[in-house]
Amino acid sequence: MVVNISDDNFNAASGQAMKYRLQPMTNLAGKINRRLTKSIKQLYKLICSNPAGDLEPDDWQKIDVKYTLNLPANLLDEAQTAGAMSGITSKRTALQVLSIVPDVDKELDQIEKEQDMTAYMTDYETDRGGSDESGDE
């Protein structure tokens, strides 16, 4: 279930072909992640049940374990897909396709800030505070 990464044909494969080659390893990683998540939750359940601690007994249920696989991504395909989706779906859904965007909400806020900044940009001089740079006194 482990791919031979040193194979000459492995590096020449496209992004989609690499995903298919890495499928068994991804499935195995998912299986290990589920078992590890269960163990982590049991550990935190035990920690939260300690009466000498500052935690509530049900705080272990609020813990969200998230795993990120370090897989190669085809950014060109992702960008083209997100661009094609932009007229059909919301910006949030289009940004979720991109693997280089870790936090979609933060990215949407950044886009909004940049749009606000460009709305106030002008070709005219905005500094009228009396500083004279031309040398005329």
Domain that holds residue 5: 1-71
Q: Do 35 and 84 sit in the same domain of this protein? A: no
Instruction: Report d(CA 77, CA 100) in Å as an integer.
Output: 12
Pair 86, 101 in one domain: yes
* 102 and 67, same domain (yes or no): no
Shared-domain flag, residues 21 and 60: yes
Give, in order, the Cα–Cα distances in Å from 112 to each of 91, 130, 135: 11, 32, 39
Contact criterion met (CB below 8 Å) for 10 and 4: yes
Q: Is residue 23 part of a domain?
A: yes
- Please state the pTM of the whole predicted model: 0.54
pLDDT in tens, the chain (137 residues): 677 666 666 665 666 677 777 888 889 999 999 999 999 999 999 988 888 878 888 888 888 888 887 777 778 888 999 999 988 999 999 999 898 898 999 999 998 988 887 766 666 666 666 555 555 54
65 and 106 share one domain:
no
Alpha carbon distances (Å) from 123 to 13, 33, 98, 126:
49, 55, 34, 9
How many whole angstroms separate alpha carbon 67 and alpha carbon 12? Answer: 28
Number of domains in the chain: 2
Residue 137 lies in a domain: no
